[in-house]
Chain A
Amino acid sequence: MHTFSIKQLGEGLRARKFSSRELTQHFLKRIEQHDGKLNSFVTVCADGALKAADRADALLAKGSGGPLAGIPLAQKDIFCTEGVKTACGSRMLDRFIAPYDATIVTRLKDAGTVMLGKCNMDEFAMGSSNETSWFGPVKNPWDLTRVPGGSSGGSVAAVAAGLAPIATGTDTGGSIRQPAALTNLTGIKPTYGRVSRYGMIAFASSLDQAGVLARTAEDCAPVLQAMAGFDPLDSTSVDRPVPDYASALAAPVKGLRIGLPKEYFAEGLDPGTRDCVMAAVKKFQELGATVHDVSLPNSPLSVPTYYVVAPAEASSNLARFDGVRYGHRAEGVKTLEELYKRSRGEGFGAEVQRRIMIGTYVLSHGYYDAYYLKAQKVRRLICDDFKRAFEKVDVVLGPTAQNVAFKLGDKTSDPVAMYLNDIYTIAANLAGIPAMSLPGGFVNGLPVGVQLMGNYFDEARLLNVAHQYQQATDWHARRPKEFA
């Protein structure tokens, strides 16, 4: 049952071939058997899951319930889930029980999904390898000595190993797309403002977006459908109707104009990865798409821009963790200042502390203009590059990552080397445009992701293009042998 698509699971549930309870028990058993090797879950909610499954079964028995009714799902541990520990990969929130549900959690519950548990992640979503988590690193199901990518490492490991059919993730600089690429999954980061951030623990407020991880675009569609849409509780939520993603999947891609940004195929891109991406381009041409060169000349400044803007916003967002109202509080402190400093010094790991300090520095008097203001201007240049590209093409295609999954420990001693993992993904967050990664082949047995970027609110087209590619290829159907 863990090899079925959402469509097949839904058909099986509605035909009463199996119940949601049986399906849930199947996944809970797989988590028990396999997650020791992966460390993809921080909290497993067996009781809650079975209760939700029974509720779904009651709905299904009456003949009601939509495409997600009774389908098990894993939530990234960045989303507040009422009554359930929500730790965001951090010692700071290790004992935090969320008193409310994030909007996307409520919407996915209302759609009838069954929450299996909360997935491990890089601490406060800061990382590209899931090695910064207080709860230990997550392993890549394709090779347990390698990273799954980050920050949604737990979410991808769980889905790739068949411990959950779908998972939620978040993407601030690539944290859905990069781990999807490293584990042979399909991941989508929607347009900024498409999905509510209420109840999603904030990292960088102008970049964060919630999204979906699954095997295929066809599986992503109903999940995004349930999550997307205006939320009055999120003041950055966009009030714009959500199209029917599932019905958009079938359109042929004949005549689609695909742009290849020359800056994404320059030095630094592994040749094997490039070959997979070029093979995907050829496949799209066979399907009737046309390919055009485009230029995103300010791309090389994406990483520097991001590593000013994101830490600055993070330093502001993480100021709330002060040991007073929730989270870790240091013991034996004598003054308020000591309370703040020791609670935060103890509660935050090294990467989080680095980013808070960079953020504090670039926002401080005397440095604000040279760094933060400058970065905001370059951000506009990067955004304008995309606007110009989308005058010529419908989607932009390129690699998601420079190489396949690296070994655990390879980049942990060099923060800048780790940051370069996001080199192709960051620009989409800076511009706010939607982007996806889909399975595009293998190099030495390790997955390679192909990235698609679209115009604002063009998620339906991205899912359609990805789906058409997945009808003509079968990379996405491959599974790691150890978890078959």
Chain B
Amino acid sequence: MSLTADQIRQVAHLARLELKPEQVEKYARELSNILDMVGQLARADTGSTQPMAHPLDMAQRLRPDAVTEADRREAFQAHAPKVQEGLYIVPKVIE
């Protein structure tokens, strides 16, 4: 399974990763090798097998819809790159 430079750029865009030009070719080669390796999965006979998302086949545990968390916003925002009046500041999104 050979990935092209364009495919790498597309995947990097989806993953919101900026790649330097010299990385694109290298990743194309490496990811192609990895996909070749995982391509072995196609050999497996999985006919009527159910997919397994959780090792113990557990369902999501539920709890009552009641407030149990304390408000620790100040402690959490103390480590934010840029905060103002309780809001996380980013470059302008709306023109």
Residues of chain A at the chain B interface (Cβ within 8 Å): 96-97, 99-100, 192-193, 206-207, 232, 235-236, 238, 298, 300-301, 303-305, 307-308, 315, 319, 322-327, 329, 333-342, 344-346, 348, 350, 353-354, 356-358, 360-362, 364, 370-371, 373-381, 383, 414-416, 419, 430-432, 456
In the complex, the answer to whether B72 meets A99 with C-beta atoms within 8 Å is yes
In the complex, the answer to whether B42 meets A370 with C-beta atoms within 8 Å is yes
Instruction: Pick the residue among A326, A341, A432 that contacts B17 (CB under 8 A).
Output: A341
A263 nearest CB across to chain B (Å):
14
In the complex, the answer to whether A308 meets B41 with C-beta atoms within 8 Å is yes
What chain A residues lie within 8 Å of B54 (beta carbons)?
206, 236
In the complex, the answer to whether A305 meets B90 with C-beta atoms within 8 Å is no
In the complex, the answer to whether B11 meets A357 with C-beta atoms within 8 Å is yes
**Residue B66 lies at the interface, judged by CB distance under 8 Å to chain A:** no
Given the known interface contacts A344-B16, A344-B18, A374-B42, the answer about A99 and B75 at a Cβ–Cβ threshold of 8 Å is yes
**Residue B67 lies at the interface, judged by CB distance under 8 Å to chain A:** no
> Can you list 16 A-B contacts (CB < 8 A)?
A193-B58, A301-B43, A319-B16, A329-B81, A336-B91, A354-B30, A357-B31, A374-B41, A374-B46, A377-B44, A379-B51, A380-B49, A380-B50, A383-B52, A415-B34, A432-B55
In the complex, the answer to whether A97 meets B79 with C-beta atoms within 8 Å is yes
In the complex, the answer to whether B16 meets A381 with C-beta atoms within 8 Å is no
Give the CA-CA distance A325 to B34 in the complex, in Å: 32
In the complex, the answer to whether B44 meets A374 with C-beta atoms within 8 Å is yes
In the complex, the answer to whether A378 meets B18 with C-beta atoms within 8 Å is no
Closest 5 CB pairs between A and B?
A432-B55, A376-B51, A345-B18, A377-B46, A341-B18
In the complex, the answer to whether B40 meets A304 with C-beta atoms within 8 Å is yes
In the complex, the answer to whether B44 meets A301 with C-beta atoms within 8 Å is yes
In the complex, the answer to whether B15 meets A356 with C-beta atoms within 8 Å is yes
Q: Which of B69-91 contact A (CB under 8 A)?
A: 72, 75-76, 78-82, 88, 90-91
Name which residue of chain A comes closest to B44, CB basis.
A378
Given the known interface contacts A301-B44, A430-B55, the answer about A341 and B11 at a Cβ–Cβ threshold of 8 Å is no
B86 nearest CB across to chain A (Å):
12
What chain A residues lie within 8 Å of B51 (beta carbons)?
373, 376-377, 379-380
Name which residue of chain A comes closest to B51, CB basis.
A376
A132 nearest CB across to chain B (Å):
14
In the complex, the answer to whether A96 meets B79 with C-beta atoms within 8 Å is yes
B3 nearest CB across to chain A (Å):
8
A469 nearest CB across to chain B (Å):
27
**Secondary structure dominating the interface of A:** helix
Instruction: Number of B interface residues at 8 Å Cβ cutoff, please give it.
Output: 51
A156 nearest CB across to chain B (Å):
25
Given the known interface contacts A324-B90, A378-B44, the answer about A360 and B14 at a Cβ–Cβ threshold of 8 Å is yes
Given the known interface contacts A99-B78, A238-B58, A376-B52, the answer about A371 and B44 at a Cβ–Cβ threshold of 8 Å is no
What chain A residues lie within 8 Å of B20 (beta carbons)?
345
Name which residue of chain B comes closest to A239, CB basis.
B61
Give the CA-CA distance A380 to B50 in the complex, in Å: 7
Given the known interface contacts A308-B41, A456-B56, the answer about A326 and B79 at a Cβ–Cβ threshold of 8 Å is yes
Give the CA-CA distance A296 to B81 in the complex, in Å: 49
What chain A residues lie within 8 Å of B63 (beta carbons)?
232
In the complex, the answer to whether A326 meets B31 with C-beta atoms within 8 Å is no
Instruction: Pick the residue among A303, A337, A342, A345 that contacts B37 (CB under 8 A).
Output: A303
What chain B residues lie within 8 Å of A327 (beta carbons)?
81
What chain B residues lie within 8 Å of A414 (beta carbons)?
33
Give the CA-CA distance A341 to B11 in the complex, in Å: 12
In the complex, the answer to whether B35 meets A358 with C-beta atoms within 8 Å is yes
In the complex, the answer to whether B31 meets A361 with C-beta atoms within 8 Å is yes
Given the known interface contacts A344-B17, A354-B31, the answer about A325 and B93 at a Cβ–Cβ threshold of 8 Å is no
In the complex, the answer to whether A339 meets B91 with C-beta atoms within 8 Å is yes
In the complex, the answer to whether A348 meets B50 with C-beta atoms within 8 Å is no
Give the CA-CA distance A285 to B58 in the complex, in Å: 37
Name which residue of chain B comes closest to A331, CB basis.
B81
In the complex, the answer to whether A235 meets B60 with C-beta atoms within 8 Å is yes
Name which residue of chain B comes closest to A355, CB basis.
B34
Give the CA-CA distance A431 to B75 in the complex, in Å: 38
Given the known interface contacts A341-B16, A345-B17, A354-B31, the answer about A325 and B44 at a Cβ–Cβ threshold of 8 Å is no
In the complex, the answer to whether B37 meets A419 with C-beta atoms within 8 Å is yes
What chain B residues lie within 8 Å of A364 (beta carbons)?
11, 14
In the complex, the answer to whether B17 meets A383 with C-beta atoms within 8 Å is no
In the complex, the answer to whether A99 meets B79 with C-beta atoms within 8 Å is yes
What chain B residues lie within 8 Å of A345 (beta carbons)?
17-20
A455 nearest CB across to chain B (Å):
12
